């Protein structure tokens, strides 16, 4: 009689918290086997019917009553449940969280605890090549929105027992699954402990914006410092290589991107596909990427500075200066185009994919051509801004691209305000930001340039041949 009351009270509590009567997708399957009552709780769409049917069929074939009378709940699981991932849980709150996370809960009359059966399956897309991290050569699988699949992609590449996968639940309401991944004995122990502590102190109700919400909770950003402190990737090979270098990877459920910590400036100019090519070609791509990257910062401010001070321009650069009278000031043209390019990008994001190519052609060619003919812009300015817009995509980080954009606009405005000294004042500001910038581990953001280390700096510019 006592066991019957315990069974009914436990089911009432679970049904009350889950609001079974109000949620159509929360299913309660009553079972009556050999005079023993059972209730199976699960969320419709998170379990496979074939697995549940096979498990129930096995239960029907067992002598349930004798097992309950002679064994504890762990013995019941060992003898009556064929599924591999089974756990005993006495906390009702954890039972509810497990059900809402996709697991099934079996409540058996005669036991005070519940049995959590991790037979969940999530709707998942195929592991295609990532859209943001395109692959020139190498594996074409990419992370997806299912956490367990992403951890398996890393395990497939690193078959080392020192690889650690630590599970955490973040968000008081969302209960978002999160995994801290690192290589023991390779990753900095203080870094791992700091990340663990930061995650445990997150008090947000939900990480509604997935990895971006997590990044904001972990990293304290200054409004005047736009440089990103975390790096994102959707490529398992990139994540695996960073793990072997001592980095820490954060994986979140419902997100195809993983966070790489710590991240410095020069991490963005190194690409995994450099290692899929011969060293000579890989080094060429790396050096070109670095040169073009810095050109995006300086090409328009330096050109504008020489237009304001033509007497300082070298002879070989004088052909690029504008000598004709313009309808609009050069600075205003540059700033309008800076905003205009972003407006076209935002519009293209909301354009159907079938029309995206046509939209880009219309925006870049027709609008640009007519703007020059109408006298709004000079052809040279269109050329330089087109180069800057395209060069921003030489590295995959949008955040870093816009950080450079804000620095470039600051230089342009200072040159416009102070034609003679504005460029030098701006360079001082940029240098101050660079020196004061720190990573999440409080080390220099621009190491090995600041502080200078020739050995480590050489590794960034020159890729050595891989050796066994």
pLDDT digits (tens, 9 = 90+) for 379-389: 788 888 888 88
Residues in Cβ contact with 382 at an 8 Å cutoff, skipping those fewer than 6 apart:
337, 368, 371, 372
More confident residue, 396 or 23: 23
Q: Given a cut of 50, is residue 468 above it in pLDDT?
A: no
User: What ranges do the domains of the chain cover?
Assistant: 2-117, 147-263, 274-461
Residue 262 DSSP code: S
Please tell me whether the overall predicted TM-score, pTM, comes out greater than 0.85 for this model: no
pLDDT of residue 423: 92
Pairwise pLDDT comparison (209 vs 173), residue with the higher score: 173
Judged by average pLDDT, the poorest of 186-195, 323-332, 369-378 is 369-378
**What pLDDT, on a 0 to 100 scale, did the predictor assign at position 46?**
83
- Asked whether the beta carbons of 378 and 337 are under 8 A apart, the reply is no
For the residues 137-153, what does the mean pLDDT come to? 83
pLDDT at residue 227 is higher than 90: no
Arithmetic mean of pLDDT, 255-276: 83
Contact, 210 vs 254, CB < 8 A?
Answer: yes
Q: What percent of the chain has pLDDT over 70?
A: 89
Q: Quick one: which of 245, 236, 292 has its CA closest to 264? A: 245
H runs (alpha helix) in 309-453? 330-349, 353-361, 367-373, 379-391, 398-417, 422-436
List, in sequence order, the alpha helices (H) in 309-378.
330-349, 353-361, 367-373
Mean pLDDT of 114-141: 75
At 136 the pLDDT is 67
Looking at residue 364, its pLDDT comes to 65
The HSE-up count of residue 326 (CA atoms within 13 Å, CB side) is 19
Chain center to CA of 178: 12
Contacts of 334 (CB under 8 A, 6+ apart): 300, 304, 381, 385, 412
Q: How confident is the model at residue 415, as a pLDDT? A: 93
**Which band of pLDDT confidence, cut at 50, 70 and 90, is reported for residue 5?**
low
Question: Mean pLDDT over residues 232-245, rounded?
Answer: 89
- The whole-number pLDDT of residue 427 equals 92
Of 112-116, 206-210, 219-223, 268-272, give the lowest mean pLDDT range. Answer: 219-223
pLDDT recorded at residue 467? 56
* Contact by Cβ (8 Å): 46, 121: yes
Which DSSP category does 366 fall into? Answer: I
Q: Is the dihedral of CA 245, 246, 247, 248 positive or negative?
A: positive
Angstrom distance (rounded) from CA 307 to CA 88: 75
Number of H helices, E strands in the chain: 17, 10
At 41, the pLDDT band (50, 70, 90 cuts) reads very high
Dump pLDDT digits (tens) for 79-126.
888 777 889 998 998 899 889 888 899 999 988 899 998 887 776 677
Which has more confidence, 255 or 272?
255
Q: Please state, for a pLDDT cut of 90, what percent of the chain lies above it.
A: 16
pLDDT in tens, 161-179: 899 999 988 888 888 889 9
Query: Residue 399, CB half-sphere, CA atoms under 13 Å: how many?
Result: 16
- Banded model confidence at residue 360, pLDDT cuts 50, 70, 90: low
**Mean pLDDT for all residues in the chain:** 83
Structure confidence by residue, pLDDT tens digits, 391-418: 888 877 888 888 889 999 999 999 999 9
- Give per-residue pLDDT as tens, 297-338: 999 999 999 999 988 888 888 888 887 777 788 899 899 888
Asked whether the predicted pLDDT for residue 205 surpasses 80, the reply is: no
Instruction: Return the pLDDT at 437.
Output: 84
pLDDT at residue 96, as a whole number: 92
* pLDDT of amino acid 357: 57
Lowest mean pLDDT among 143-157, 186-200, 323-337, 342-356: 342-356
The Cα–Cα gap between 369 and 148 comes to 51
Report which of 299, 301, 320 is spatially closest to residue 387, judged by C-alpha positions: 299
What pLDDT shows up at residue 466?
58
Residues 447, 462 contacting (CB under 8 angstroms): no
Identify which of 250, 255, 236 has the alpha carbon closest to the alpha carbon of residue 182: 250
pLDDT in tens, 341-354: 888 777 777 766 65
């Amino acid at each position: 009689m006592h066991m019957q009351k315990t069974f009914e009270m436990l089911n009432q509590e679970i049904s009350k918290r889950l609001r079974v009567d109000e949620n159509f997708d929360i299913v309660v399957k009553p079972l009556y086997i050999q005079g023993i009552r059972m209730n199976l709780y699960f969320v419709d769409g998170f379990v496979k019917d074939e697995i549940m049917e096979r498990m129930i069929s096995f239960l029907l074939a067992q002598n349930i009553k004798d097992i309950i009378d002679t064994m504890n709940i762990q013995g019941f699981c060992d003898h009556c449940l064929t599924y591999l991932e089974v756990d005993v849980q006495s906390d009702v709150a954890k039972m509810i969280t497990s059900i809402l996370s996709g697991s099934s809960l079996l409540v058996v009359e005669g036991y005070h605890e519940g049995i959590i059966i991790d037979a969940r399956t999530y709707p998942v897309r195929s592991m295609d090549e990532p859209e943001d991290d395109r692959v020139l050569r190498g594996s074409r699988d990419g992370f997806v929105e299912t956490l367990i699949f992403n951890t398996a992609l890393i395990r497939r590449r690193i078959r080392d027992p020192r690889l650690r996968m630590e599970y955490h639940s973040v968000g008081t309401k969302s209960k978002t699954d999160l995994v801290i991944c690192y290589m023991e004995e390779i990753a900095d122990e203080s870094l791992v402990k700091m990340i663990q502590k930061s995650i445990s102190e997150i008090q947000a109700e939900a990480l509604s914006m997935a990895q971006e919400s997590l990044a904001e909770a972990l990293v304290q950003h200054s409004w005047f410092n736009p440089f990103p402190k975390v790096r994102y990737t959707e490529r398992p090979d990139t994540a695996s290589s960073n793990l072997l270098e001592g980095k820490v990877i954060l994986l979140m459920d419902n997100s195809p991107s993983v966070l790489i910590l710590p991240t410095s400036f020069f991490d963005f100019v190194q690409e995994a596909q450099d290692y899929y090519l011969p060293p000579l070609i890989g080094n060429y791509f790396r050096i070109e990427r670095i040169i073009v990257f810095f050109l995006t910062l300086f090409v328009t401010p330096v050109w504008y500075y020489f237009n304001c001070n033509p007497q300082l321009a070298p002879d070989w650069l004088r052909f690029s200066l504008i000598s004709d009278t313009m309808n609009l000031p050069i600075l205003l043209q540059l700033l309008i185009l800076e905003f205009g390019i972003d407006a076209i990008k935002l519009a293209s994001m909301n354009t159907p994919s079938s029309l995206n190519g046509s939209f880009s052609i219309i925006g870049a060619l027709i609008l640009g051509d007519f703007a020059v003919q109408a006298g709004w812009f000079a052809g040279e300015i269109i050329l330089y801004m087109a180069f800057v817009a395209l060069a921003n995509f030489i590295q995959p980080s949008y955040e870093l691209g816009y950080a450079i954009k804000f620095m470039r606009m600051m230089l342009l405005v200072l040159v416009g305000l102070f034609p003679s000294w504005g460029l030098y004042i701006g360079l001082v500001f940029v240098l101050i930001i660079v020196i004061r910038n720190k990573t999440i581990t409080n080390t220099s953001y621009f190491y090995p340039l600041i502080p200078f280390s020739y050995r480590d700096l050489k590794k960034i510019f020159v890729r050595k041949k891989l050796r066994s």
